[in-house]
Amino acid sequence: MAAALALGLGLGACDDGGGAADDPAVTRIPARPAQRSGDAAAGWDFLRYGDYVGSGVPYEIFAAFFASSPPPNRLDREGDGATVPYSFNVFETPTGVKVAGGVNCFGCHASRLDGAFVVGLGNAFSDFTAAELTDQAPLVQGVVEGRYGEGSPEAEAYAVFARGALAAEARSLLPFRGVNPAFMFEESVAAHRTADLGWSEEPVFAIDAGPIGSDVPAWWLLKKKNALYYNGMGRGDFARLIEQISVVATYGSAQTEAFDAHFGDVLAFIMAIEPPAYPEPVDSALAARGEGVFEGSCSACHGTYGEGGEYPNLLVGVERVGTDAAYADRMLATGLIGWYAASWYAEGTEVAPARAYVAPPLDGVWATAPYLHNGSVPTLAALLDSSRRPTYWRRDFGDTTYDHAAVGWPYTVESGPVDVSTYDTTQLGYGNGGHTFGDALSADDRRALLEYLKTL
Ligand code: HEC
Ligand code: HEC
């Protein structure tokens, strides 16, 4: 069950490297407004113990599932939180019921690499392929009502959680592992929410398209960004924007209003995260040569690194970057955007989808495989040479060993989909084409560039 609930501006200032300057398909994202300030340590605690999920399964019942084999305490929690999987928080609902609710932020924004647990790294191991909650909900509801009685605050707490989680799951199942349906969760649940986050059995907007998942971006990149999300649509008060996860299981806007006060601290925590340093030896002469290649071919879009580095915050039209357009198109078409603009979450923010993707900062990029917004490319070596990108590739999700030669996840090439561990780039939204900026480089230059990318 744990896994289941888991829920063209003039670019005169740019160099010409990569040809981004004066390209009408490339626009500069305006500087972000001043953000809330906060206390990073308090943010870390709120993320691990706070009530932002909204509701959950009564704790006694949830904990019983894990009583005989306690999960590893990856978030170093004390008390009840130490007894549940790290992707769940234990907290009290506004009605005084102690629940375990998830997924919390870490269910998607923490991951494993070479055996280490890395907070802020997008979870590239998640599995949203099966309707486990839908299968188990009647049983859990029966247990909760049997113990506490129908109509009890405990039964209500579970109902508030389950209605959202079931609505989310019903429309967000993905075809294979390693991709994440966060905005599909939000869309499916928002379709049952009024502007002040009350529940509506009747859908308030129609959903006409199937789910498309994405990779999860690393949190340490946020400090450089003027806008959130792959298509740059999240503008304004970042703290408010990242509260959207609560749409699934909140009791309503009175509850979200109460935890809004903690999100300045949460933002401070996220802004303070640094990327992990590359753990293996780097050939520094080769990397120095790679830096020159990077400045010639990549910096115009991705910026410069090290002392005095600058990040240009560019949004690149899909016609220019050439990567799979379906995710950007899905965000342009969804009723979620209009719903959002009229909702409790809109205050101080603007959501402006574009048919474009942000050229992300590349700090710690060695660790963030798979690559591109849809995670369709398993390694940096394949990203830099599109002829090496596999159409069907299969990972061992039980193994966190990283490939430090190609820089990314080890995989086997398959001739077709084998099972849910096979990434299928022929499916809508999961294409691995485009971003061919490394193709014209010589093999030597690519090798040097790969070495340099390890140092960012
Ligand atoms: C169900 C998985 C899931 C959960 C839970 C989740 N996120 Fe995310 N988050 C994502 C995905 C996927 C994206 C990328 C979506 C996109 O860009 O289109 C994202 C994007 C973000 C970003 C923007 C990063 C960027 O560089 O654009 C921030 C910040 C963020 N999440 C913070 C949070 C916080 C804080 C929480 C908890 C309150 C949270 N997320 C809960 C999956 C999740
Ligand atoms: C015209 C602008 C542009 C140029 C030039 C460019 N990129 Fe990109 N890059 C992008 C955009 C936009 C994305 C996001 C595309 C997507 O996710 O679909 C991206 C994504 C990436 C990613 C994936 C990041 C991740 O975590 O998934 C890497 C790595 C990368 N670029 C490296 C490079 C390198 C190395 C070069 C030079 C050979 C380069 N880029 C040249 C615009 C550019």
Instruction: Answer whether 378 contacts ligand 2 (Cβ < 6 A).
Output: no
Q: 2: how many CB neighbours lie within 10 A of its CB?
A: 19
Ligand that lies nearest to the alpha carbon of residue 259, given by its number in the listed order: 1
pLDDT of residue 432: 98
CA atoms within 13 A on the CB side of 356: 23
pLDDT of the residue at 20: 60
Determine whether the shortest distance from the Cβ of 182 to ligand 1 is under 6 A: yes
Which residue, judged by its Cα, is nearest atom 31 of ligand 1? 242
Encode pLDDT of 206-247 as tens digits: 999 999 999 999 999 999 999 999 999 999 999 999 999 999
**Nearest atom in ligand 2 to 320's CA:** 1
pLDDT at 41 over 90: yes
**Residue 108 CB less than 6 A away from ligand 1:** yes
Q: Tell me the pLDDT of the chain averaged across its residues.
A: 94
Q: Is 107 in the pocket of ligand 1 (CB under 6 A)?
A: yes
Q: What is the pLDDT of residues 134-185, one digit of tens each?
A: 889 999 999 999 999 999 999 999 999 999 999 999 999 999 999 999 999 9
pLDDT at 12: 35
Q: With contact defined as beta carbons under 8 Å apart, do 429 and 172 qualify?
A: no
pLDDT of residue 10: 33
CA torsion through residues 379, 307, 239, 267, sign: positive
Instruction: Output the pLDDT for position 132.
Output: 86
Percent of the chain surpassing pLDDT 70: 95
Question: What pLDDT digit, counting tens, does each position of 244-287 carry?
Answer: 999 999 999 999 999 999 999 999 999 999 999 999 999 999 99
- Whether the link from the prior residue into 316 is cis, omega within 30° of 0, is no
Q: What's the confidence (pLDDT) of residue 23?
A: 84
Model confidence band, residue 374 (pLDDT cutoffs 50, 70, 90): very high
Q: Is the CB of 184 under 6 A from ligand 1?
A: no
**Probe target for ligand 2 pocket from 23, 111, 298, with the most ligand atoms within 8 Å of CB:** 298
Nearest CA to ligand 2 atom 2: 301
**Residue 9, pLDDT score:** 30
**pLDDT score for 268:** 98
> Would the CB of 18 count as within 6 Å of ligand 2?
yes
> Does an H or E element contain 118, and which?
strand 116-119
CA of 3 to the centre of ligand 1 (A): 17
pLDDT digits (tens, 9 = 90+) for 297-338: 999 999 999 999 999 999 999 999 999 999 999 999 999 999
Write the CB contacts of 449 (distance below 8 Å, at least 6 apart in sequence). 290, 293, 294, 297, 298, 384, 438, 441
Is pLDDT at 3 greater than 70 in this prediction? no
The bridge status of strand 110-113 relative to strand 116-119 is: antiparallel
359 lines ligand 2 (CB under 6 A): yes
Q: Is the pLDDT of residue 11 over 50?
A: no
